[in-house]
Amino acid sequence: MAKLKTTFFCQSCGAQYAKWQGQCTSCKSWNTIVEELIKKPEKVAWKTSSSSAKERVSTPLKISEIDTTKTPRLDTTDAELNRVLGGGIVPGSLILLGGEPGIGKSTLMLQLSLKLPYKTLYISGEESQKQIKLRAERIHPSSEQCYILTETKTQYIFKQIEDLAPDILVIDSIQTLQSDVLEASAGSVSQIKQCTSELMKFAKETATPVILIGHITKDGSIAGPKILEHMVDTVLQFEGDRNHVFRILRAHKNRFGSTHELGIYEMQGTGLRIVENPSEILISKKDTALSGNAIAVTLEGMRPLLVEVQALVSSAVYGTPQRSATGFNAKRLNMLLAVLEKRAGFRLGAKDVFLNITGGISVDDPAIDLAVVAAILSSNNDDALSDNFCFAAEVGLSGEIRPVQRVEQRIMEAEKLGFTAIFISKHNKLGLKPNKIEVHLISKIEDLLRFI
């Protein structure tokens, strides 16, 4: 009997070892190394046999001679997705869409498959054809070009592809695929690696774009292997809070475009809807202004986005005051509180401080700092800010108000939404003269106190 060959893989970074060990030497995580069965490849899934390899001998070309005119991008009919991808899908590209379970990856891709004016093959290893049809009926009136296949073995999938010759392939999800070449179970590092490389070969040889859906582990990396990210051309991430309706589509890596763009969707009963003006939905227009609320003009990717910051400052019940932040970095909150204590003389050391960014989104843009400070001060004094004010500046360790990038774009967005005053850093160079909105230039936290 042939001896079974096994190898050990780290489930988090994909490193390979000859024997088991407790800690992965390359990514330093503990207890992530598992044994997987390997069988030598006898038959290869996609036609990689010597015949096709011999036909396609690649020769060096001068870069000026390489013809790129023949590859127009495929229009996805979804403006947000087109923008995130850098103008559409490049033929032969391998796209990985990652996201937490239940966030709406299958919905987004099914919606895309139904709308595309190309022959699309949607392969699901997770749901039956009937279940997909039920979901599809809710999303979009029927499409004549969308084919559904429920299959997990790559060998069978390639057989179907040869008969059908689709223009686009969607795989839901890469973790359910299994190749005959390996003995390991579906979802293991070696299987994911093998199936992805088979699909990559198929994509490159036939110039058919392949979209892979991948689940994400708790710590936010695409489950199992980071290696997948190296293999594909584009990594998209679908994120959001499952309890809220907003979803953000981001490009983490893109060989054919920038990674600064992002798309915003709203999950509805009938699928995902593009949100054209997210700021309008994220800020609630109230009749009476409430203390502890401030509006920040942040930048998500290239787009200005107005978000509402809410703070609650109350006397600490326990000896150690509580600090909690949702949608904002808790360490940064502590830093801002220390700045307020030291530079502006507020005694917040004995206060509980809670901070929340409404709409379930999380913001990394440092331009939100000034709004956070304003919201905390407003709650501390129990004095509402005018709801026609908005803020866009970073706060430094010595209490100075620092400039932020693309300030003019932010001012224009605030003006468009009807705000009457915006607070920015004195050091921001202003080229334009806004006509309706009043721009307050401030240099220290103390300057802010004069206004609020």
Element (H, E) at 263: strand 262-268
Q: Could you tell which of ligand TYD, Mg ion, none binds residue 103, using a CB distance below 5 to 8 A set by kind?
A: ligand TYD
Nearer to ligand TYD, 266 or 394 (CB): 266
Q: Could you tell which of Mg ion, ligand TYD, none binds residue 337, using a CB distance below 5 to 8 A set by kind?
A: none
Region binding Mg ion by CB under 5 A among candidate stretches 48-56, 105-113, 313-321, 365-373: 105-113
Residue 215 C-beta: closest distance to ligand TYD, Å: 8
In terms of DSSP H, where are the helices of 75-226? 79-85, 105-115, 129-139, 154-164, 189-206
Nearer to Mg ion, 127 or 352 (CB): 127
| CA 230 to centroid of chain Cα atoms | 17
Angle, helices 189-206 vs 154-164, to 10°: value is 20
Nearer to Mg ion, 95 or 414 (CB): 95
Q: Which of 276, 304, 307, 294 is nearest to 421 (CA)?
A: 294
Element (H, E) at 315: strand 303-315
User: Following CA atoms 338, 452, 364, 434 in sequence, which dihedral angle do they give, to the nearest 10 degrees?
Assistant: -140
Residue 115 C-beta: closest distance to ligand TYD, Å: 14
Residue 256 C-beta: closest distance to ligand TYD, Å: 24
C-beta of residue 266 within 8 angstroms of C-beta of residue 275: yes
Q: Residue written as tokens 């686009």?
A: 168
Nearer to ligand TYD, 106 or 279 (CB): 106
Nearer to ligand TYD, 106 or 310 (CB): 106
Residue 254 C-beta: closest distance to ligand TYD, Å: 21
Sheet holding 120-124, edge to edge: 146-150, 120-124, 168-172, 210-215, 94-99, 234-240, 246-254, 262-268, 271-274
Q: Could you tell which of ligand TYD, Mg ion, none binds residue 22, using a CB distance below 5 to 8 A set by kind?
A: none
C-beta of residue 135 within 8 angstroms of C-beta of residue 104: no
Q: Binders of Mg ion: how many residues, by CB under 5 A?
A: 1
Residue 401 C-beta: closest distance to ligand TYD, Å: 41
**Residue 20 phi, psi (nearest 5):** -70, 145
Nearer to ligand TYD, 94 or 110 (CB): 110
**Residue 366 phi, psi (nearest 5):** -65, -15
Q: Could you tell which of Mg ion, ligand TYD, none binds residue 431, using a CB distance below 5 to 8 A set by kind?
A: none
Residue nearest to ligand TYD (CB): 106
Q: Could you tell which of ligand TYD, Mg ion, none binds residue 109, using a CB distance below 5 to 8 A set by kind?
A: none
Residue 113 C-beta: closest distance to ligand TYD, Å: 12
What is the C-alpha to C-alpha distance for residues 20 and 11, in angstroms, rounded to an integer? 13
End-to-end CA distance of the chain: 82
Nearer to ligand TYD, 121 or 170 (CB): 170
Residue 267 C-beta: closest distance to ligand TYD, Å: 5
Residue 234 C-beta: closest distance to ligand TYD, Å: 18
Nearer to ligand TYD, 77 or 409 (CB): 77
Q: Could you tell which of ligand TYD, Mg ion, none binds residue 104, using a CB distance below 5 to 8 A set by kind?
A: ligand TYD
Residue 107 C-beta: closest distance to ligand TYD, Å: 3
Nearer to ligand TYD, 106 or 379 (CB): 106
404 to each of 298, 357, 391, 412, 437, how far by Cα in Å? 10, 20, 11, 15, 18
Residue 260, Cβ neighbours under 10 Å: how many? 14
Q: Which of 12, 76, 93, 106 binds Mg ion (CB under 5 A)?
A: 106
Would you count residue 111 as binding Mg ion (CB under 5 A)? Answer: no
Nearer to ligand TYD, 22 or 102 (CB): 102
Residue 112 C-beta: closest distance to ligand TYD, Å: 12
User: In the chain, how long is the greatest CA-to-CA distance?
Assistant: 85
Cα angle 429, 433, 434 (rounded to 5 degrees) comes to 115
What is the C-alpha to C-alpha distance for residues 238 and 253, in angstroms, rounded to an integer? 13
Binding site for ligand TYD (CB under 6 A): 99, 101-107, 135, 138-139, 267, 269-271
Region binding Mg ion by CB under 5 A among candidate stretches 81-89, 102-110, 252-260, 358-366: 102-110
Please report, as ranges, the residues that interact with Mg ion according to CB under 5 A: 106
